[in-house]
Structure 1
Amino acid sequence: MGVRLASEDGFKPPSTADFELPPVFGDNPFTTKPVFLVFFSVILISVFFILASRKAAIVPSKLQFAGESVYGFVRNDLARDVIGHEFMRFVPYLFTLFTFILTNNLFGIIPFLQFPTMSRVSFPYVLAMFTFVIFHYVAIKHKGLIAYLKEIMFMPGVPKPVYILLTPIEVATYFLVRPLTLSLRLFANMFAGHLLLLVFILGGEHLLQGVIGLKLVSPFAFAFGIALTFFEFMVQCLQAYIFTLLTALYIAGALADEH
């Protein structure tokens, strides 16, 4: 957890500096805590679903039921209902995306880990880039490059003079706004949530070191921090869902025929 304890100079409120974690080994930037958490999440997800599916039975065990529930949710509610009849070929990516984001988000409230990986903007950028490449590739393969670019730049049913204003907006939307908003939405929510938790937890700790009046207030800071932890859990799940849902919507739009 990127925290700084109160020092002799007084309480230093949490800031962006708490997210700048130093390398664990030497000066290698690839050995920071977020990088380790990403690799740990891959191992954790793999082990969980291997164990959940290893002894699959008609009457599922609790572990198998949990694994199948997550898979069924992504396959049915995010892939089938959004994309349509061609959904199965995109289920592996959407399933991987959802479980990866969810696990790394939840690290922010898990004791001893306590750092949401997606609060480092580089990780959401990479995930958004994968989605960006996939939905453009799907659209080009389905419609052809010329037809796809024509669809983006010249929306059907629009008066020609409007294209002067509309075409730059549409091009920016498809090639810049979508990947940026997709990644920044996830990053901002994880960053802000973690920062709020730091404010109340570290603030409560600092109040305990003060005079008797401040000591009496500190339990309220801790209580609010605990309440925020439950709220943050909902936000973490919701952001994993939204990122995957928007990816499915972009893919569905890439497969949609022009009318």
Structure 2
Amino acid sequence: MNLLLSLATLPIFATSSDGGFEAPTLDHEFNPAPFLFAGTPFEINRILMVRLIAVAVLVVLLVLYSKRAKLVPGRAQSAMESLLDFSRVQIGHEIIGEEEARRYQPLLMTIFLGILFMNITGVIPGLQIAGTSLVGMPLIFALVAYFAFIVAGIRTQGLAFFKHQLMPAGVPKPLYVLMIPLEFLSTFILRPITLTIRLLANMMAGHFLLVLCFLGTHFFYFEFSSVMGIGFGTLTLLGGIIFVIFELFVGALQAYIFAMLAAAYISLSISEH
């Protein structure tokens, strides 16, 4: 049991100088001290390390898949092909259309798999935090989707793309005085912000739930030594396990929603109307 709790809570908990229990702070969770190249532009802390690990694992899996793919796939190949097919069909074909989706599929697949792998690091013992639970990574994904939306629109419609986005057809001309600033605000300002906040908030909330559950388990088992403490600790441990499963679902769902919205924005930018 001690080994299970150590793996489940590492590195959530800190220990005070006298060896007692010390609750983690927001700085400890989301602003950890660098442990490599400190004081340089290349310094690495725990969250950046988690992101690098997620990217490295994803790259290795894709390279192995591309080099060892067989006509009759095994389990590992089938699992990877399921992810790729899901991105291609459920995100690309369903939203953009089969013909147009081919051009944007590499981008959509990168967004989907990148977010998915960074999300699930939040439930892996020893890593224990999602790479997308700090604003930098969600913002980068949002800006990539945002610029893809603009580039796709300009490539398809030229500079008339901006006119079509700001001046929807069928609106009485006097209303354009109101429509243009509203469309500019919603389409070109709020869109990347909402993409960022949606992903960030969901992953931060999941991390807080896991911290709360396993923090309670650690406290009740090792600091509140009584029958009541064991009972409460067991409840928080079960709650933590349930939330781990739930967080896996939320991580996959958020990756899908983000990639789906990116595809929807691209579809809107290349539509003739």
TM-score, with structure 1 as normaliser? 0.92
Please name the residue that 1:170 is paired with. Answer: 183
Q: Mark the CA change 1:161 to 1:2 in structure 2 (over 3 Å): closer, same or farther.
A: farther
Asked whether 1:131 is paired with 2:140, we answer no
Q: Which amino acid aligns with 2:156?
A: H
Instruction: Give yes or no for contact 1:13–1:199 (8 Å, CA) kept in 2.
Output: no
Measure, in 1, the Cα distance between the counterparts of 2:202 and 2:46. Answer: 19
Shift of residue 256 of structure 1?
0.3
Q: Which amino acid aligns with 1:162?
A: L
Q: How does 1:104-183 map to 2 (within 5 A)?
A: 104-145=118-159, 147-183=160-196
Q: How does 1:71-110 map to 2 (within 5 A)?
A: 71-84=84-97, 85-110=99-124
Q: Which amino acid aligns with 1:249?
A: A
Match of 1:31 among 15, 19, 44: 44
Asked whether 1:216 is paired with 2:225, we answer no
Q: Mark the CA change 1:13 to 1:49 in structure 2 (over 3 Å): closer, same or farther.
A: closer
Measure, in 2, the Cα distance between the counterparts of 1:91 and 1:73. Answer: 11
Measure, in 1, the Cα distance between the counterparts of 2:103 and 2:158. Answer: 19
- Shifted more, 27-36 versus 57-66: the winner is 27-36
Instruction: Give yes or no for contact 1:15–1:195 (8 Å, CA) kept in 2.
Output: no
Please name the residue that 1:185 is paired with. Answer: 198
Instruction: Give yes or no for contact 1:38–1:104 (8 Å, CA) kept in 2.
Output: yes
Asked whether 1:232 is paired with 2:247, we answer yes
Shift of residue 189 of structure 1?
0.5
Asked whether 1:21 is paired with 2:32, we answer yes
Q: Runs of 5+ in structure 2 lacking a partner? A: 1-9
- Shifted more, 207-216 versus 193-202: the winner is 207-216
Asked whether 1:60 is paired with 2:69, we answer no
CA RMSD for the aligned pairs? 1.9
Q: Mark the CA change 1:33 to 1:11 in structure 2 (over 3 Å): closer, same or farther.
A: closer
Percentage of matched positions with identical amino acids = 33
Q: Which amino acid aligns with 1:121?
A: V
Measure, in 1, the Cα distance between the counterparts of 2:264 and 2:200. Answer: 20
Instruction: Give yes or no for contact 1:2–1:21 (8 Å, CA) kept in 2.
Output: no
Deviations 1:153-177 (A, max 9, x none): 2211112232222221110111111
Shift of residue 50 of structure 1?
1.7
Measure, in 2, the Cα distance between the counterparts of 1:149 and 1:218. Answer: 57
Please name the residue that 1:246 is paired with. Answer: 261
Measure, in 2, the Cα distance between the counterparts of 1:74 and 1:210. Answer: 48
Q: Runs of 5+ in structure 1 lacking a partner? A: none
Measure, in 1, the Cα distance between the counterparts of 2:267 and 2:23. Answer: 48
Deviations 1:56-93 (A, max 9, x none): 22211222211211111111111111111211011111
Instruction: Give yes or no for contact 1:6–1:206 (8 Å, CA) kept in 2.
Output: no
